[in-house]
Structure 1
């Protein structure tokens, strides 16, 4: 048992991962009738927000392995949600654009995310919501810093 005020790393990431996996299952259920799986919502959001984003930039923005991005984009292209074309200035880069189908499903994707957030945060006060969001933003910044080589990732490990 951890001392009061102490948190061990495994339960923290275990809980974050479990919430994430539950959200994936929820998205699968809510978006399958549109031909989307639980992982593709993020691509729809990014490509609709930034039409013409390069596939390489998408890899950097969403912190997913190149092969996973390529695989999901291929599925989205096959199902008519996006198009990819070679960049005129660098033929090795692929630019990604939303189709009308992606733009039509975008409001539903946003609605599904909003419903999930509302369900999770039901019963939290405004202060609790603000505090949770601020702490998650700090964790996100630290995680990105570690992955991008801006931090050493050698934080002190608290023992139970």
Structure 2
């Protein structure tokens, strides 16, 4: 089997992801937050006080990467990292007032992005897409 470049679904998915990321990055830039950092913030807006390890698990990201992003978010004044009194290795992430207020600007952007991305796509098609991507992810585990 000799596939042409356009035949590789992984390349198509990667190129799509680059477009998605570029779009959301431009929308979030004025708020001084990167798309990856925003994923942490979205988790904390749902459940404040998660540990860095819990965030890493939920986002399926490397713990070191999460620690670096948390440090950046702390530098920007959006979160505080607090060591657990019982176990100093555990860092919990807590929203600051600025971090809480950021949600009022970011959530409408995230919702608009979702609506734009899913325009003219049925719920059934979205479920099918999610199912197919889940199968692809499982194939690589």
Flag whether TM exceeds 0.5 (same fold). Answer: yes
Task: Give the stretch that moved more between structures: 47-56 or 19-28.
Answer: 19-28
SS in 2 for 1:31: helix
Q: CA RMSD in A?
A: 2.4
SS in 1 for 2:36: coil
Shift of 1:137: 3.4
2:99 counterpart (67, 85, 102):
102
Shift of 1:59: 0.6
**What is the alpha-carbon distance in structure 1 between the residues aligned to residue 60 and residue 112 of structure 2?**
24
User: Which contiguous aligned blocks of 4+ residues in structure 1 show a shift greater than 3 angstroms?
Assistant: 139-144
TM normalised by structure 2 equals: 0.82
Larger radius of gyration: 1
TM normalised by structure 1 equals: 0.73
SS in 2 for 1:95: strand
How many corresponding residue pairs? 137
Structure 1: tracts of 5 or more residues without a match: 3-7, 147-151, 155-160
Task: Select the structure with the greater relative contact order (CA < 8 A; seq sep ≥ 6).
Answer: 1
1:131 matched residue in structure 2:
124
**What is the alpha-carbon distance in structure 2 between the residues aligned to residue 139 and residue 68 of structure 1?**
28
**What is the alpha-carbon distance in structure 2 between the residues aligned to residue 143 and residue 80 of structure 1?**
38
Shift of 1:105: 1.2
